[in-house]
Amino acid sequence: MTIHVSNQTSQQLYIDGCWVSPIIAASLPVVNPASEEVVAQVASGSAEDVDRAVAAARAAFAGWSATPAASRALVLGKIHELILERKEQLAQALSLEMGAAIGFARAMQVPLAAEHVRVARDLLSSYRFQTVEGGTAIQREPIGVCGLITPWNWPLYQITAKVAPAIAAGCTVVLKPSELSPLSALLFAQLVHDAGLPPGVFNLVNGSGAQVGAAMAAHPDIDMISITGSNRAGALVAQAAAPTVKRVTQELGGKSPNVLLPDADFAKAVPLGVMSAFRNVGQSCSAPTRMIVPKNRLAEVEALAAATANALIVGDPQSEETQLGPIANEAQFNRVQAMIQAGLDEGAKLVCGGPGRVLGFDKGFYTRPTVFSEVNSAMRIAQEEIFGPVLCIIAYETVDEAVAIANDTVYGLGAHVQGHDLTQARAVASRIRAGQVHLNYPAWNPMAPFGGYKRSGNGREYGVQGFEEYLETKAIIGFGE
């Protein structure tokens, strides 16, 4: 089965190396957020389909886990090649299903997804699955069948961040992509099939969280669940998984701070901070949406932030000039609008943007890039994840106060620190309670572990640490030197 962007309709699931119809015929619409029109119908699976997929993954586990690492690396290499070969088809699917600007999909969404596969492949040539210490062998073995639940905001990127290390480790997987952006996942399933992955190693069951996600979390033959999503979804998955005592890793919400120290280059740091916060239309859990700045520089920061936000080109995601497309779905658009109104109601200073659609668009979920200033940590917009192009500027008097503001949320996923004095910037970074801190806007590093403190989740993704989440540890005592 080949899925074309021009005809994104699939009434099938991918189970045990084949495209199959769901046991109970049902479908879910896929809505293009730029037009608000239904552009596809995809199969909606059920608990019975999860049972089929898990059975296939369980049957394939013995053979795949015993496959030499070099052989697994060859298949991953082929998957990597096919992602790059089909990058335009994947980029078009992403733009269609969740409104990513086509230039952003081509430059970021697809290439970064490919990097997760490359990293997993390359790790297999160096990772030591067995070490011997004082006569005891420490053996790392694949955990088993993994249920993977991915979100709608970075659809392909989050799929490869989970699937690639899992199958590299020797696990077999059942994937449930978001029902709101499933088209790129269908293309990925076809790509995996064409790469020659043995039947049952990778399975895809589309469907809702209530039907498919819940069945996966509770399934006794799934050994591990990895979910990227909202805090609510993460908590429900953990609760459903608890009776079977399976491993649960969660990458959940964030409210990441961006601390601009007094010696930062504000002319550079503020525009880059706005662009980082609004990347992917602000729909990134690690987006630095709280810009924490010296009080005596507040007017300067406001002017720089407004100039940057107002210059952004928001529009048709198929246009080469567009920088920000629409919000990915109606529910999220309504959430962003409600939070912008909450900022106004709580007395935050509106620097630019505001409620309502972008001028000239009466259709599509286009949101005005919005900057608030004079925000304090008691406000909802400073505490709750908005997941849209909304930036909060918060002023501080001392560096100690800046750190306290940075840590004053229930989240701890990402953070940024800007400053000329690296010693001070590093010291501030060490005091921020977050799983990943960026100093002076460094290049993305696919080997850097990613995950959260506090309510941002448990476990890590990317690089060696992300790979090891899919491994169990066995000690063989008396093994000998």
pLDDT, tens only, 272-288: 999 999 999 999 999 99
Quick one: pLDDT at residue 10? 77
Q: Kindly give the pairing relationship between strand 27-32 and strand 18-20.
A: unpaired
Backbone CA torsion sign across 442, 444, 448, 450: positive
Question: 8 falls in which pLDDT band (50, 70, 90)?
Answer: very low
Quick one: pLDDT at residue 1? 41
Is 285 known to be catalytic?
A: yes
Answer yes or no: are the C-beta atoms of 322 and 313 closer than 8 Å: yes
Is 251 known to be catalytic?
A: yes
Residue 254 identity: G
Question: Is a pLDDT exceeding 70 seen at residue 4?
Answer: no
Q: Kindly give the pairing relationship between strand 257-260 and strand 414-418.
A: parallel
Residue ranges, CATH 3.40.309.10, the chain? 257-443
Q: Average the pLDDT over 212-227 and give the result.
A: 98
Q: Which of 115, 179, 251, 461 is labelled catalytic?
A: 251
Quick one: pLDDT at residue 480? 85
Class for domain 257-443, per CATH? alpha beta
What is the residue-averaged pLDDT of the chain? 96
Query: What are 42-93's pLDDT values in tens digits?
Result: 999 999 999 999 999 999 999 999 999 999 999 999 999 999 999 999 999 9
Sequential DSSP letters for 209-259 = IIIIIHHHHH-TT--EEEEES-HHHHHHHHHHHGGGT-EEEEE-----EEE
Q: Which of 115, 146, 179, 285 is labelled catalytic?
A: 285
Task: Choose the weakest-confidence range: 1-10, 124-133, 205-214, 235-244.
Answer: 1-10
Out of 1.10.3720.10, 3.40.605.10, 3.40.50.12780, 3.90.950.20, select the CATH number for domain 13-252+456-477.
3.40.605.10
Question: 5 falls in which pLDDT band (50, 70, 90)?
Answer: very low
Quick one: pLDDT at residue 272? 98
Question: 291 falls in which pLDDT band (50, 70, 90)?
Answer: very high
Quick one: pLDDT at residue 286? 96
Residue ranges, CATH 3.40.605.10, the chain? 13-252+456-477
